[in-house]
Amino acid sequence: MTQQIEDYALIGDLRTAALVGLDGSIDWLCLPRFDSPAVFATLLGDARNGRWILAPQSGGRCTRRRYRGDSLILDTEWITPDGAVRVTDFMSPTSAEPHVVRILEGLTGEVAMHMCMAPRMGYGKVVPSLHSIGAHFVGTAGPDSVWLRSDVGLTVTHGTVTGDFVVSAGQQISFTLGHLPSSRLELPAVDAADSLAATQTYWREWMSRCTYSGPWADAVKRSLIILKALTFQPTGGILAAATTSLPEQIGGSRNWDYRFCWLRDAAFTLRAFLATGYVEEAFAWRDWLVRTVAGDATGTQIMYAIDGTRHLPELTLDWLPGHAGSSPVRTGNGAATQRQNDVWGEVLDALHATRAAEDRPCPGAADLERGLVTQLEQNWAEPDNGIWEVRGPQRHFVHSKLMAWVGVDRAISTLEKHHPRESLNELRDLREAIHTEICHRGFNRSRRAFTQSYGSARLDASVLLMPRYGFLPWADPRMVATVDAIQGNLTRDGLVLRYAVGAEGTNVDGVDGEEGAFLACSFWLADALHGIGRTDEAAELFDRLLTLRNDVGLLSEEYDPITGRHLGNTPQALSHAGLVTTALHLANPTATTVQHHSPTWQDAAS
* DSSP string of 144-195, one letter each residue: EEEEEEESS--EEETTEEEEEEEEEBT-EEEEEEEEEETT--------HHHH
What is d(CA 601, CA 606) in angstroms, rounded to the nearest whole number?
9
> In this predicted model, which residue has the larger pLDDT, 513 or 82?
82
The domains located in the chain, with CATH, are: 5-205 (2.70.98.50), 209-605 (1.50.10.10)
Give the pLDDT confidence score for residue 589 in this predicted structure: 60
What's the CA gap between 202 and 199, in Å, rounded?
5
8 A C-beta contact, residue 390 and residue 509 = yes
Contact 462, 454 (CB under 8 A): no
Between the alpha carbon of residue 594 and those of residues 373, 406, 442, 545, the distances in Å are 20, 11, 21, 24
Asked if 579 and 219 count as a contact pair (C-beta separation under 8 A), the reply is yes
Q: How confident is the model at residue 98 (pLDDT cuts 50, 70, 90)?
A: very high
Residue 593 or 348, more confident: 348
Above 60 in pLDDT, residue 606? Answer: no
Residues 110 and 169: beta-carbon distance below 8 Å: yes
Give the up-direction half-sphere exposure of residue 471: CA atoms within 13 A in the CB hemisphere. 32
pLDDT top residue among 423 and 203: 203
| Contact status, residue 70 vs residue 48, Cβ threshold 8 Å | no
- The closest of 135, 163, 154, 141 to 55, measured between CA atoms, is 163
Question: Chain-wide mean pLDDT for the chain?
Answer: 93
For residue 346, what pLDDT is reported? 94
CA distance 70 to 109: 30
Q: Would you state the pLDDT for residue 600?
A: 29
Q: Which residues make Cβ contacts (< 8 Å) with residue 515, sequence separation at least 6?
A: 248, 249, 252, 254, 497, 498, 501, 558, 567, 568
In one-letter notation, the amino acid at residue 451 is: T
At 417-473, the pLDDT tens digits run: 777 677 789 999 999 999 999 999 999 999 999 999 999 999 999 999 999 999 999
Q: Is the pLDDT of residue 512 over 90?
A: no
pLDDT in tens, 27-59: 999 999 999 999 999 999 999 999 999 999 999
Beta carbons within 8 Å of 331's beta carbon, 6+ residues apart: 123, 244, 257, 314, 315, 317
- Under DSSP, is residue 414 helix (H, G, I), strand (E, B) or coil? helix
Can you tell me the distance from the alpha carbon of 492 to that of 512, in angstroms, rounded to the nearest whole number?
19
CA-CA distances (angstroms) from residue 78 to 54, 63, 469, 510?
Answer: 11, 5, 48, 46
pLDDT digits (tens, 9 = 90+) for 518-563: 999 999 999 999 999 999 999 999 999 999 999 999 999 999 999 9
Backbone angles phi, psi at 205, to 5 degrees: -70, -35
pLDDT-based confidence at 500, cuts 50/70/90? Answer: confident
Interval 194-211 mean pLDDT: 98
Residue 56 has a pLDDT of 98
- What single DSSP character describes residue 567? E
242 within 8 A of 570, measured Cβ to Cβ: yes
Burial of 69 (0-12, 13-18, 19+ CB in 10 A): exposed
Query: What phi, psi does 216 have (nearest 5°)?
Result: 60, 30
Q: According to DSSP H, which parts of 438-533 are helical? A: 477-489, 519-531
pLDDT value at residue 591:
43
Q: What is the pLDDT of residues 245-283, one digit of tens each?
A: 999 999 999 999 999 999 999 999 999 999 999 999 999
Work out the average pLDDT over 145-163: 95
Assess contact for 513 and 503: CB atoms under 8 A. Answer: yes
∠ CA(418), CA(421), CA(424), 5° rounding? 90
* Percentages (nearest 5) of helix, strand, coil residues in the chain: 35, 25, 40
Residue 418's φ and ψ, nearest 5 degrees, are -130, 0
- How much is the pLDDT for 237? 97
SS3 state at 105: strand
Chain-centroid distance of CA 164 in Å reads 37
pLDDT at 332: 97
Comparing CA positions, the residue from 344, 256, 362, 268 lying closest to residue 301 is 344
Is the pLDDT at 150 greater than 60, yes or no? yes
- Helices of type H across 380-501: 398-415, 425-437, 477-489
Q: What's the pLDDT band for 502 if we cut at 50, 70, 90?
A: low
- Judged by DSSP in three states, 560 sits in strand
Q: For residue 298, what pLDDT is reported?
A: 80
- Indicate if the pLDDT at residue 504 is higher than 60: no
Please name which of 297, 235, 244, 245 lies closest in space to residue 266, comparing C-alpha atoms.
235
